[in-house]
Chains A and B, each alone.
Chain A
Amino acid sequence: MMRKVNRIVLAFGLVPAIMISFFGTGCSQKKDYNIFVHEILPNGLDLIIKYNPDSRVYAINILGKNRSLLEPNGKEGITDFVNRMLTSGADGMSADEVQNALDDIGAEITANDNPYIPYDDRYTSSAYSFIKFETIDEYAHDGTELLHRIISKPDFPGPEIRQTSQKVMGLLGMKSGSTYQNARDLCYKNLFSGFPFSKPVLGNRASIMQFTRDDLISHHQKFYAPNNMIMAIATNIDPDTVKSWVYETFGKMEKNNGDYPTLPRPSEVQGRIEVNHEMNKEQIYIYMGGLCPGMKSPEAPAIDMAASIISSRMKENLREQQGLAYSVGMGVSFMPEFGWLIASMGTGFENYEVARDGMIAEINKLKSELPTAEELKKAQNSTWGSMLLARASRINQAYYMCKNEFLGVGYNYEDDYISKIRTVTPDDIQRVVKDYFDTENIVIASAGKKTR
């Protein structure tokens, strides 16, 4: 329905990416209710199919592994660029013909962050890329074939490359005016200095303008090779039937025998690195980051719960008691071998020091006093509820199956994870905060008016 989505003014804003645990949900469903098929196809494609009768939506998520690691130096943003060009012409179809073919089956492809939806970038990561495809059951077969044509045979027509460059330059222009985006990029640049995650997902002006058709073809052949993809499908159609469709299409793509390096560990942050991107704005955005253990660590659930408790305390003490901010919070993201903690806040520029010190104080407070049992229970329930909500749609179910598979914990990890966070104790919280929430070795990035 094409009604204008006028500006909606929310009481708390939408929940920023960093405040959402990275896992999906669905934990209260009986395990036997769903049927899963999981196979590695001969060409290396990692395929997961989840069947249940809950919805008519036919959802596919394709995850391309190691986005920033596989982007050549000087070609930052090329994966995002390739994603934008997938519907610009494929397998002999023009851009209009691709769009008409999608419209004929009511299908939608989402392969990039939507800059008009606040905090929608929770799905965007330096670690991987996503391609989300949705239609309904009656168009599922046609949809699978169409998606295969689009992903396996993009044409990268020259005029469309120039148009896409212009579009991305426009997005970079919009982003350059956002304190949130600048603080975030500055934080990642310093937190992951010399590490692939320091590269901006969207690229930069220099990289975007020099992509050639050959660059795009070459990157596409490597990045969207079947052996670098995880494909998850959530459906109400017989999973064996769906599997046969995948074998007929994606199963015929050729494996890439090139070199696929593994992601190293980032270097530890040494000291407190405080950096600002000066902007003449009413608000200053603060983005603090520090490294912590990864999801393979037995401490991961306690770290997640500790971040959730600190997030609630920041909201209560800095927003509700002091009125310093409209949005404030803390969260954690994990890779298998390492993780990173982020706390963020937007506040009036005159409040910078108070806000920064207040955020650090909230983190350090847990080192000397235990959280209450009630606080911990809230954090556990809140995580459980967020997971339920995040996994309500089939497309998010497919997305999180891919993500969990990529992270090496198995596509259906949520039930285990909920059990694990339920066993976390107040002592665990204090221990992980003391050990890993190191406020002396962190990056404090900001964007806004700091010099007066």
Chain B
Amino acid sequence: MKKSAVFIFISLLVSAVSALAGKTTFYTLDNGMEVILKENHAAPLISSVIIVKAGSKFENEENNGFTHLLEHMLFNGTVKRSRKEIDEGIRDYGGYINAFTRQEMTGYLVVMPREFIEYGFDIQSDQLFNSILPADQFPKERDIVVEEIKKDNDVAGNIAYDYFNSVKFKETPYARPVIGYEETIRNVTRDEVMKYYKDYYVPNNMTAFITGDFETDEMKRLVDKYYGKIPRGEDPVLSEFIISPPYDAKINIKRHPAKVSYIDISFPGPLYSESDYFAYDVLSQYLDSEASPLSNALTGGDDPLAVSVSVSLDIQSEFTMMDISIRTNKPENIDRIVRETLSVLKEITEKEFSESDIRRVVVPNKVNEIKLEEKLHYYGIMKAPYLATCGYEFLENYTDNLSKVKPGDIGAITKKYFARPRYVASALAPGEEGK
């Protein structure tokens, strides 16, 4: 066949593929498990992420790190499978298996070539509902987690992140590290972890987010076979907390023997469910751009104050925080950087935002969504936290809602939140604690 003829033939397929790409179905199984199926036929792979609403925010001072240790233990054996059969079983078929723990959720990821997805579901379902947390594996897994804690403690950026949270969210579970402390991990018992597992790992506390190269009707049958038969459990207690960050003009500083200083300035914003949330989101993305006045003020000029600045939103059910993260080689600039940041935000309350300012936020979002869909193993990891906190509808309508924001909406939000801003400023600076 000549190349041009082949091209015409494939071109005819394009519309069919495009029409199917992204077809999404949301439903709830009888046992309360939420299911999202999103077809994507770009690669012969299927990704299954099971989101469990079990995270470090549901722990206390004594058991901090439980959730993460449990996540590790779920790779150590079930009623019918050994540890090796779980991990290597997936890889035997060319698959990928991993899990991740956050403050508000834990996610279990399996990516399989489409022809082996049923094998992947069998293992994933078994791992989530039939794990035995074998006693003989418990000490070894504790050692691995302790090594992980040590690894994290060797990285200044991680120490900075934990310190900033301990300041902003003091006296709430958000102040504690997801991974826990060596002392708590060393002292945790298997029985305590088992109870936590039984309480939180029920289908009515989970969402299955499945994307990839499948037909929805056939996938529904498989989901029902592997997840639909699990009995519903008691609804776990999903506590919420009132945070009261120390909004004062003080800069909290921790000393650490690092060559780079890390600065975090956090501002409260509207909850994701509030009407002005999307204008605030657009504003944060506008500020995050390398062409933003914040970036120019901090990293521009002949003698820049900082080497990098980024702006992001931390969204939880109880709060939204805009975090401005800055790195500098010059710790003597910390005070000035905070002042300069506040000054830029003050000036922004007077700015007339334009349609093109908004377009430069909305278009990259639209493009990024298409790009992310190609990366099946990242797609689930990136979307899972939103699903756990904000729900399916928020996620599905996110880009549309961003595009509805008008220049006047951003003007209003800057005046509301930054005319007299409340903030928490913290820094990790070189030096020794106490000196």
Contact = CB atoms under 8 A, between A and B. Distances in A.
A251 interface: no
Interface in B314-331: 314-315, 323, 327-329
Interface in A331-390: 346-348, 377-378, 381-382, 384-386, 388-389
Interface centre among B21, B94, B299 (most CB of A within 10 A): B94
A391 B374 CA distance: 9
Contacts of B13: 53
Nearest to B41: A54
A110 to B, nearest CB: 11
A96 B291 contact: yes
Nearest to A135: B367
A169 B178 CA distance: 31
B288 to A, nearest CB: 6
Chain B, interface SS category: helix
A210 interface: no
Interface stretch (A176-184, A262-270, A287-295, A425-433): A176-184
B3 A159 contact: no
B44 A28 contact: yes
Contact of B284 (A2, A5, A51, A391): A2
Given A96-B296, A283-B150, A28 B113 contact: yes
A106 B290 contact: no
Given A177-B258, A283-B151, A392-B376, A55 B140 contact: no
Contacts of B143: 323-324
Contact of B375 (A163, A236, A239, A392): A392
A388 B113 contact: yes
B260 interface: yes
Given A53-B17, A104-B359, A159-B302, A320 B140 contact: yes
Given A378-B88, A388-B44, A393 B329 contact: no
Interface stretch (A7-15, A38-46, A220-228): A7-15
A173 B94 contact: no
Contacts of B100: 8-11
Contacts, number: 261
How big is the A interface, by class?
35 or more
B381 to A, nearest CB: 7
B289 A103 contact: yes
Contacts of A348: 147, 150
A118 B191 CA distance: 34
Contacts of B34: none
Given A104-B363, A324-B147, A388-B113, A283 B44 contact: no
A327 B150 CA distance: 12
A155 interface: no
Interface stretch (B198-206, B305-313, B414-422): B305-313
B194 interface: no
A351 to B, nearest CB: 9
B370 A136 contact: yes
A149 B375 CA distance: 29
Nearest to A33: B10
Given A95-B291, A103-B363, A320-B83, A169 B329 contact: yes
Given A3-B314, A99-B291, A170 B308 contact: yes
Contact of B10 (A3, A28, A53, A391): A53
A7 to B, nearest CB: 6
Chain A, interface SS category: mixed
A115 B96 CA distance: 24
A281 B179 CA distance: 19
Interface in B1-29: 3, 6-7, 10-11, 13-14, 17-18, 21
B75 interface: yes
B139 A323 contact: yes
A56 B370 CA distance: 7
Given A320-B83, A323-B143, A392-B376, A174 B148 contact: no
A171 to B, nearest CB: 8
Contacts of B364: 103, 106, 108
B157 A174 contact: yes
Interface centre among A53, A96, A167 (most CB of B within 10 A): A53
Nearest to B8: A238
Contacts of A51: 7, 10
A189 interface: no
Interface string B159-196: 00100000000000000001100000000000000000
Given A348-B150, A392-B375, A104 B300 contact: no
Nearest to A29: B44
A386 to B, nearest CB: 8
Contacts of B155: 177-178
A121 B264 CA distance: 26
B290 A99 contact: yes
Contact of B91 (A28, A174, A385): A385
Nearest to B385: A3
B375 A388 contact: no
A435 interface: no
A257 interface: no
B144 A389 contact: no
Interface string B391-435: 000000010000000000000000000000000000000000000
B154 interface: yes
Contacts of B281: 1-2
B78 interface: no
Contacts of B303: 162
B374 A2 contact: no
B128 interface: no
A177 B156 contact: yes
A326 interface: yes
B285 interface: yes
Nearest to A87: B290
Contacts of A135: 367
Contacts of A323: 139-144, 147
B45 interface: yes
Contact of B144 (A134, A159, A281, A326): A326
A29 B288 CA distance: 39
Interface string B261-288: 0000000000000000000010011001
A106 B83 CA distance: 44
Interface in A52-67: 52-57
Nearest to B91: A382
Contacts of B6: 32, 35
A91 interface: no
Interface of A: 1-12, 26, 28-29, 32-33, 35, 51-57, 87, 95-96, 99-100, 103-108, 116, 134-136, 139, 159, 162-163, 166-167, 169-171, 173-174, 176-179, 236, 238-239, 280-283, 312, 316, 319-327, 346-348, 377-378, 381-382, 384-386, 388-389, 391-395
Give the 10 A-B CB pairs with smallest separation, nearest first. Answer: A385-B94, A106-B367, A323-B143, A170-B307, A173-B259, A103-B360, A282-B150, A53-B14, A393-B374, A99-B291
15 contacts: A3-B313, A4-B314, A6-B385, A12-B98, A51-B7, A103-B289, A105-B367, A108-B371, A169-B329, A174-B259, A283-B147, A283-B150, A325-B144, A348-B150, A388-B43
Interface of B: 3, 6-7, 10-11, 13-14, 17-18, 21, 41-45, 68, 71-72, 75, 83-84, 88, 91-96, 98-103, 111, 113, 139-144, 147-148, 150-151, 153-158, 161, 178-179, 257-260, 281, 284-285, 288-291, 296, 299-304, 307-308, 311-315, 323, 327-329, 356, 359-361, 363-368, 370-371, 373-377, 381-382, 385-386, 398
